[in-house]
A and B are shown apart, each in its own frame.
Chain A
Amino acid sequence: MNKYYFFLLFTLFSFGLTAQAEYTVSGYIKDQSSGETLIGANIINIDNPIQGTSTNTYGFYSLSLPEGKYNINVSYLGFQSQSFQVDLNKNLNFNVEMSEGVAMEEIVVTSDREQRKANVESTQLGKIDIPMESVKKLPALFGEVDILKVLQLLPGVLSSGEGASGFYVRGGGPDQNLVLLDEAVVYNSGHLLGFFSVFNADAIKNTSLIKGGMPANYGGRVSSVLDIQMKEGNNKKYRAEGGIGIISSRLMVEGPIVKDKSSFMISGRRTYALDLAQPALKGGDFEGTNYYFYDLNTKWNYTFSKKDRLYLSTYFGRDVLVFAQPKRDFSFELPYGNSTGTLRWNHLFSDKLFSNLSLVYNDYQFEFKGRQEDFVFNLFSGIKDWNGKFDFDYFYNNKHSIKFGANYTFHTLTPSTASASNGEVDFDTNFKPKYAHETGIYILDDIKFNKNFSLNVGARFSAFTQMGPYTSTITGEQFGKGDAVKTYTGLEPRVSFKWSLANSTSLKGGVTRAYQFLHLVSNSSSTLPADVWVASSELVKPQIGLQYALGLFKNFDEDNYETSIEVYYKDLKNQIDYSDSYVNDITKEVENSFVFGKGRAYGAEFFLKKSTGRLNGWIGYTLSRTERSFPDIENARWYPASYDKTHDLSIVANYELSKKWDIGGVFIYGTGKLFTPNNGFFFIDQSINLFYGPRNSARLDAYHRLDLSATYTRHPDSKRKWKGSWTFSVYNTYNRKNPFFINYDTNVDFNTGETTIEGSKITIFPVIPSITYNFKFN
Chain B
Amino acid sequence: MKMVTYIKNSLLLIASTVLCLSLSQCSEPYTPDAVDGTQEYVVEGYVEAGSSLPTYVILTKSIPFTSNISQETFASLFIDNAVMTVNDGDKDVELTKLCTANLPPELLEIASEFIGFKITPETPNVCIYVDLANAITKEIGRTYSLTVNVDDKVLSSTTTIPRHIPLFGFRWDDPPGEPSDTLARLWVNVDDPVGTDYYRYVTGINDKGYVAPFQSTTDDAFFDGQKFEFPLTKAEYPQDDADPSSFGWFPRGDSVHIKWYNLDKKHYDFWTTRDFAANSGGPFSSYTRIAGNVEGALGIWGGYSSSEYNLYCPPK
Which residues of A line the B interface, CB within 8 A?
A: 161, 193, 246, 285, 325-330, 372-373, 375, 418, 420, 422, 425, 427-429, 523-526, 528, 578, 580-585, 587-588, 642, 675-693, 698, 726, 735, 737, 739-744, 748, 750, 752-764, 766-771, 773
Contact = CB atoms under 8 A, between A and B. Distances in A.
A161 B20 CA distance: 22
Interface of B is mostly: loop
20 contacts: A285-B245, A328-B177, A373-B176, A525-B284, A580-B289, A581-B290, A679-B65, A680-B63, A682-B40, A684-B299, A685-B116, A685-B212, A689-B274, A756-B67, A760-B28, A760-B29, A768-B20, A768-B21, A773-B6, A773-B10
Nearest to A714: B2
Given A330-B177, A587-B222, A692-B287, A681 B272 contact: no
B115 interface: yes
Nearest to A767: B20
Nearest to B218: A587
A168 to B, nearest CB: 16
A692 B62 CA distance: 12
A723 B117 CA distance: 71
Interface string B273-296: 110111001111111111100000
Interface in B152-209: 175-178
B244 A325 contact: yes
B300 interface: yes
A680 B74 contact: no
Interface string B35-77: 1101110101000000000000000101111111111001001
Contacts of B128: none
Given A580-B288, A583-B273, A742-B30, A768 B69 contact: no
B5 interface: no
A193 B21 contact: no
Interface in B87-146: 115-118
Contact of A757 (B40, B66, B286): B66
B100 to A, nearest CB: 14
A757 B174 CA distance: 38
Given A328-B177, A761-B28, A525 B286 contact: yes
Contacts of A680: 35-36, 39, 62-66
B281 A744 contact: yes
A677 B33 CA distance: 10
Contacts of A328: 175-178, 244-245
A528 B285 CA distance: 9
Contacts of B221: 429, 587-588
A677 B245 contact: no
Contacts of B64: 679-680
A759 B32 CA distance: 8
Interface string B217-235: 0010111001011110000
Contact of B177 (A325, A582, A690, A739): A325
Contacts of B228: 422, 425, 427
Contacts of B20: 766-769
Contacts of A726: 6
Nearest to A737: B28
A251 to B, nearest CB: 18
A372 B176 contact: yes
B284 to A, nearest CB: 5
Contacts of B231: 375
A332 to B, nearest CB: 14
Contacts of A739: 28, 30
B310 interface: no
Given A693-B36, A769-B13, A760 B284 contact: no
Nearest to B16: A769
Contacts of B299: 682, 684
Given A680-B63, A753-B74, A773-B6, 10 more contacts: A375-B231, A526-B284, A528-B284, A679-B65, A680-B62, A685-B212, A690-B281, A691-B298, A741-B283, A762-B27
A351 to B, nearest CB: 54
Contacts of B311: none
Given A762-B27, A762-B283, A691 B290 contact: yes
B97 to A, nearest CB: 18
Contact of A425 (B16, B118, B226, B283): B226
A687 B237 CA distance: 12
B245 A327 contact: yes
B279 to A, nearest CB: 10
B311 to A, nearest CB: 21
B126 to A, nearest CB: 11
A295 to B, nearest CB: 22
What are the 9 tightest A-B residue pairs by CB atom distance, in nearest-first order?
Answer: A686-B116, A587-B221, A329-B177, A329-B176, A580-B289, A766-B24, A759-B30, A581-B291, A327-B178
A755 B63 CA distance: 13
A687 B26 contact: no
Nearest to A328: B177
Contacts of A526: 284
Contact of A427 (B40, B223, B276, B287): B223
Contact of B26 (A762, A767, A771): A762
